[in-house]
């Protein structure tokens, strides 16, 4: 996927792929691969791809997004019914419904109210139909797995996502788009691809699609989600910068988010996110904050403060940048000074509960660095925290961002006590992504781990006393079920249909007090292997319903068990 290609609306990709003949559909994945090797040039709002020496393909994105099929034009003889237009749409990033910084600001609706709550009941039938289409398309992706879910299956899921959004199922539509984005990253061997993200997206799509036909009231409203975050007036605010983090998404958006806090410890975010790649994520930190008249950059705001009047705030704490907002720079505060000091005084158990149930998942921790431990995805930093051994990982692996290098350097400062900001990763052991830290050698200085690059000279001149890590408690073997859940998403139903050590693994789970997990594991394998035959003994196509239900049950159970084990692990 070229970083020059503009995001394409899901409905556009679905429309172009649906218009292909069966013969051209079979050639679509090959067509995408060929386009990936062709020169791409951006000229203002137009992106040109040289299909060959005599033919150009153009994508027009006047607002940064290709929003109609007519905006993709090809000069070949078969146009507009050619393969090239569908291939270009399938290779481009999937446009999100509304980038965070472009979401509307509304003071008419009450805080937290969703426009969909006032929908007439007549929309229920339309939403049930849309939910069924989502479930069918997502089940087909699960059946094929990431290895087999090519552009045609992706387009079917995008079509279902577009229909779901029109029907008011915004949460499921967004999750479906995230699934397609993750599938493309997986098939392109993108280093930013994470199987756990694909599993989570597919789990959410199927969960919502399964529950919508039966849900009512508050549950249905939560399943629907909202198209845009409603902003509400919040008067005047005095904010103090906490840290800044780069944003780099697989869907083609990048930028920076600066986190601030008020005198009561409530968190607010100022963001600058738009289509782009790692270069924009790095550069956005040095752009002026788009809020009122302030000239502070995001990097400067993370260590300074803001006085805001006429503020508008979303339910998740995102500050709006409407015309009525006024903001000027003000003095900041250190992490060990009021009011920021109170962020670290909240008990870890309380922070964990909030992170598991909230939107940002941030943790403010006192840690002692212990060294590193090797993992399949790379080394992670070990730290003692409130009696537990915490694994601190990189939030991004892109080499343009210094997360991984900074973790490697910090591992040499064993025994150093620091305050850090991290984002919780639910797991059977204490685990979080390191976002910001106190400087290991300079008191009163902080480091944004994704933006500030530490050097060897920044480490303490005299190493602190070595600290022996407490042995990690024996973990419950929930990985036996999680691994099968992930294998199904990666390789499809067929990888679980072969005979294996299902019985032995189920018994091991039962012996560890996880009898339900053992039963789910056996059912998942049985559903994957189930194939009927016709009267002549020939295998019939597999029925995806039982397998999809079995996978969803296992995925939801694993998610909830991880939450419970996460709380237990942090408590020691």
Structure confidence by residue, pLDDT tens digits, 401-422: 999 999 999 998 999 999 999 9
Cβ neighbours for 178, distance < 8 A, ≥ 6 positions apart:
197, 201, 251
Please give the Cα distance from 128 to 124 (Å, whole number). Answer: 6
* Closest CA relative to residue 204, chosen from 116, 114, 126, 142: 142
Please give the Cα distance from 161 to 482 (Å, whole number). Answer: 27
| Amino acid 136: pLDDT | 96
Tokens 């609306």 — which residue?
Answer: 9
With a cut of 50, which residues of the chain have pLDDT below it? 98-119, 466-467, 469-471
Give the distance, in angstroms, between the CA of residue 474 and the centroid of all CA atoms in the same chain: 29
| Amino acid 108: pLDDT | 31
Cβ neighbours for 36, distance < 8 A, ≥ 6 positions apart:
1, 2, 91
Give the distance, in angstroms, between the CA of residue 518 and the centroid of all CA atoms in the same chain: 29
Please give the Cα distance from 56 to 74 (Å, whole number). Answer: 6
Q: DSSP for 409-477?
A: HHTTSTT-EEEEEEEE--SSS-EEEEEEEE-SSSTT-EEETTT----GGGS-SSPPPP-PPPPPPPPPS
Count other Cβ atoms within 10 Å, centred on residue 28. Answer: 21
Give the distance, in angstroms, between the CA of residue 481 and the centroid of all CA atoms in the same chain: 23
Please give the Cα distance from 537 to 534 (Å, whole number). Answer: 5
Instruction: Give 493's Cβ-side CA count (13 Å radius).
Output: 27
Cβ neighbours for 474, distance < 8 A, ≥ 6 positions apart:
none
Count other Cβ atoms within 10 Å, centred on residue 52. Answer: 10
Please give the Cα distance from 229 to 510 (Å, whole number). Answer: 44
For 280-308, letters b (16+ CB in 10 Å) and e give: bbbebbeeebebbebebbbbbbbbbbbbb
**pLDDT single digits (tens) 109-130:** 333 333 344 445 556 899 999 9
Q: In which order are the strands placed within the sheet that holds 267-275?
A: 267-275, 253-261, 232-248, 305-313, 326-330
Tokens 């002549």 — which residue?
Answer: 536
Q: What Å distances lie between residue 443 and 25, 300, 335, CA to CA? A: 61, 18, 11
Residue 537 burial by Cβ neighbours in a 10 Å radius (0-12, 13-18, 19+): exposed
Residue 240 in contact with residue 305, Cβ under 8 Å?
A: yes
Residue 267 in contact with residue 260, Cβ under 8 Å?
A: yes
Residue 445 in contact with residue 532, Cβ under 8 Å?
A: no
* Closest CA relative to residue 287, chosen from 241, 255, 328: 255
Residue 519 burial by Cβ neighbours in a 10 Å radius (0-12, 13-18, 19+): middle
Query: Which two three-digit tokens encode residue 95?
Result: 């446009």
* Closest CA relative to residue 224, chosen from 179, 170, 185, 269: 170
* Model confidence, pTM: 0.82
Q: In which order are the strands placed within the sheet that holds 56-60?
A: 40-43, 46-50, 56-60, 72-74
Pairing state of beta strands 388-394 and 431-438? parallel
| Amino acid 568: pLDDT | 86
Q: What are phi and psi of 183, to 5 degrees?
A: -60, -45
């Amino acid at each position: 996927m070229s970083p020059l290609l503009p995001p394409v609306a899901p409905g556009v990709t679905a429309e172009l792929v649906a218009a292909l003949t069966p013969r051209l559909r079979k050639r679509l994945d090959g067509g995408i691969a060929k386009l990936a090797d062709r020169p791409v040039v951006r000229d203002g709002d137009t992106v040109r791809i040289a299909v060959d020496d005599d033919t150009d393909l153009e994508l027009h994105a006047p607002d940064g997004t290709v929003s109609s099929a007519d905006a993709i034009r090809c000069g070949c003889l078969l146009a507009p019914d050619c393969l090239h237009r569908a291939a270009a749409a399938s290779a481009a990033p999937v446009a999100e419904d509304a980038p965070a910084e472009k979401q509307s600001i509304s003071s008419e609706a009450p805080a937290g109210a969703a426009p969909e709550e006032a929908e007439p009941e007549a929309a229920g039938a339309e939403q049930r139909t849309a939910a069924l289409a989502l479930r069918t398309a997502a089940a087909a992706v699960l059946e094929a797995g990431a290895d087999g879910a090519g552009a045609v299956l992706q387009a079917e899921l995008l079509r279902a996502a577009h229909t779901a959004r029109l029907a008011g199922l915004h949460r499921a539509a967004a999750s479906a788009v995230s699934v397609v984005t993750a599938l493309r990253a997986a098939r392109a061997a993108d280093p930013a691809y994470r199987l756990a993200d694909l599993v989570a997206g597919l789990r959410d799509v199927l969960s919502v699609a399964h529950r919508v036909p039966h849900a009512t009231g508050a549950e249905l409203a939560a399943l629907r989600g909202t198209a845009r975050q409603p902003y509400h007036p919040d008067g005047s605010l005095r904010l103090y910068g906490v840290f800044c983090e780069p944003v780099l998404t697989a869907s083609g958006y990048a930028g920076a988010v600066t986190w601030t806090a008020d005198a009561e410890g409530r968190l607010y975010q100022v963001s600058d996110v738009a289509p782009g790649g790692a270069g924009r994520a790095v550069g956005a930190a040095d752009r002026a904050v788009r809020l009122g008249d302030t000239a502070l950059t995001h990097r400067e705001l993370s260590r300074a403060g803001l006085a805001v009047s006429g503020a508008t705030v979303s339910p998740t704490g995102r500050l709006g940048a409407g015309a009525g907002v006024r903001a000027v720079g003000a003095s900041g505060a250190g992490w060990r000074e009021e009011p920021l000091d109170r962020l670290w005084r909240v008990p870890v158990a309380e922070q964990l509960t909030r992170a598991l149930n909230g939107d940002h998942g941030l943790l403010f921790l006192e840690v002692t660095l212990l060294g590193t431990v090797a993992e399949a995805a790379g080394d992670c930093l070990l730290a003692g925290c409130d009696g537990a051994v915490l694994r601190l990982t990189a939030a991004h692996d892109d080499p343009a961002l210094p997360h991984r290098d900074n973790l490697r350097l910090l591992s040499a400062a064993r025994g150093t006590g620091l305050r850090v900001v991290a984002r919780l990763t639910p797991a059977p052991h204490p685990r979080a992504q390191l976002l910001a830290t106190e400087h290991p050698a300079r008191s009163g200085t902080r480091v944004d781990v994704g933006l500030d690059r530490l050097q060897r000279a920044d480490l303490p001149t005299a190493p602190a006393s070595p600290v022996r890590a407490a042995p990690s408690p024996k973990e419950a073997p929930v990985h036996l079920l999680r691994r099968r859940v992930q294998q199904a998403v990666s390789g499809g139903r067929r990888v679980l249909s072969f005979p294996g050590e299902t019985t032995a693994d189920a018994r091991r789970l039962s012996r560890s007090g996880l009898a339900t997990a053992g039963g789910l594991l056996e059912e998942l394998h049985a559903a994957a292997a189930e194939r009927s035959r016709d009267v002549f003994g020939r295998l019939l196509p597999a029925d995806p319903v039982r397998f999809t239900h079995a996978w969803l049950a296992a995925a939801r159970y694993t998610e909830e068990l991880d939450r419970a084990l996460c709380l237990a692990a942090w408590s020691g």
